[in-house]
Amino acid sequence: MADEPHQDATYLAQQVASGAVSADELLDEALARVAAMNPALNAVVMIEEDAARRAIKAGLPEGPFRGVPFLIKDLGAEAIDFPTNSGSNLLRGTRYTYDSAIFNRMRATGVVTFGRTTSPEGGIGPVTEAAVYGGPTRNPWDLSRTSGGSSGGSGAAVAAGIVPMAHGSDGGGSVRIPASSCGLFGFKATRARFPDGPAAGEGWAGMAIDGFLSHSVRDNAAMMDACAGADPGAPYVAPAMEMTYAAAISRPPRPLRFGVCDTTFTGGAIDPECRAAVNKTAELLEDLGHSVAPALPRADHAGMMQAWTRVVACGTALWIESAARAQGRDVRQGDVQGIAASAMTFAKGISGAQYLAAVNAVHAYGRQMAACFDDYDILLCATLAEPPAEVGRFTHERDDYQTYRVGAGGVFEYSPFCAAFNASGQPAASLPLHWTASGLPVGVHLAADYGADATLIALCAQLEQAAPWAHRKAPILGEYLA
């Protein structure tokens, strides 16, 4: 399963359709890989093999991924058959009485969901080190490094070859950060491209959205097509696409204007490996017939980060208080880890007026970023300012949420690019186009104008063809296959 570059989820579904392999056999292999690799990775949790076998026996939908093993993030994607911890002891073993719209759409593709993947508590942070899972989730390329967050379990599971694609979500880079950290493709669609219901109208004031981690662009495109579209009653919808994601990747993009930023958005230095990844990609784009020029997007980046921090703190307080109330009690000492607890404390100091001011600041930032795209079609930068961090660097066992996010050495210094496009709502993607001399993946980040998903994914497919990455295998997978 997925041992050669072409053996992505699309290929495996074709093998099932031809009768060369069965869905049960693919599930057997996925479970064997969990047994072999998960003790080192700590990426796959809450396995529900019986639910997966029942789905196969009942007859899988005739979708593009019929019979392919699949994992959903342990945060959101509410499903009756798949209880959740949401990365927290407070929510340990929560069961749902309904299936979410996004889960129903994923299931309709024919995937065989058999478990969940680890997430940091409440989805806060660029690492996945939640206490509820008994330890950190580690990177298949180097077990001393983080797989990223908050979809870090999905990133690790896909990079390790346990599944060819997995569900994630992205409220500040949570698909793109693990994609960069684990040598994968991750795409954050335009705001509201996918449904949030019925549990919520929006996540984090519209900054959060579901997404997928994959080896191939075509897998991501097909899954996004299957999941796109608002659910009934959604408060707003994404602009219609000029064509489907799958149609867009079938043709090369037109010659595009690129703004190239090999620093932070405020001109600060980034790691030399990350800078090299950006400049190498810029040269490749010129070879492909695109035009490139230096760019520094002029917007209130610091103000956006402060506003993002306030909005997410209030969102964290909401889920903690709601979870305790559902259990008929008050929040207790030790219910949540230090970062979530301090986020809740921080939120208590934010008035309703200040919260709305933060939302307005996020919206103002979106308009500022939109104006930047008058000068170019695509903004190219690094996904992270450094290669993947060492495990423990961004531990949640601390009680300084605001400093953790925006302070010196904090999350926004490590990941200064991704959240910009959650705030603006623009589509953005991380592509695995560079590896360090020591073998760590470094993602390259591309962002397009609001609603221009088709242009962006067509470009991603062009780069995948020009600089293929699927032949690279993480060491832990190589050891398994040896």
Contact assessment for residue 137 and residue 43, using Cβ atoms and an 8 Å cutoff: yes
Tokens 């050891």 found at: 479
* Residue 150 bears catalytic tag: yes
d(CA 45, CA 156): 12
Contact assessment for residue 442 and residue 277, using Cβ atoms and an 8 Å cutoff: yes
Tokens 């703004």 found at: 259
d(CA 72, CA 84): 10
Catalytic residue among 119, 174, 214, 415: 174
Q: Looking at this protein, which amino acid is placed at residue 61? A: P
Q: Is 321 helix (H, G, I), strand (E, B) or coil?
A: helix
d(CA 252, CA 262): 25
Q: How many CB atoms lie within 10 A of CB 35?
A: 11
Catalytic residue among 100, 119, 147, 150: 150
* Residue 188 bears catalytic tag: no
User: Strands 428-435, 185-188: parallel, antiparallel or unpaired by DSSP?
Assistant: antiparallel
Estimate to the nearest angstrom the gap between the alpha carbon of 428 and the chain centroid: 11
Q: Which residues contact 81 (CB under 8 A, 6 or more apart)?
A: 48, 51, 113
Dihedral angle sign, alpha carbons of residues 216, 218, 221, 227: negative
Catalytic residue among 73, 88, 188, 342: 73
Q: Which residues contact 159 (CB under 8 A, 6 or more apart)?
A: 139, 140, 141, 147, 182, 183, 184, 474, 477
Beta bridge partners of residue 293, listed in sequence order: 259
Residues noted as catalytic? 73, 150, 174
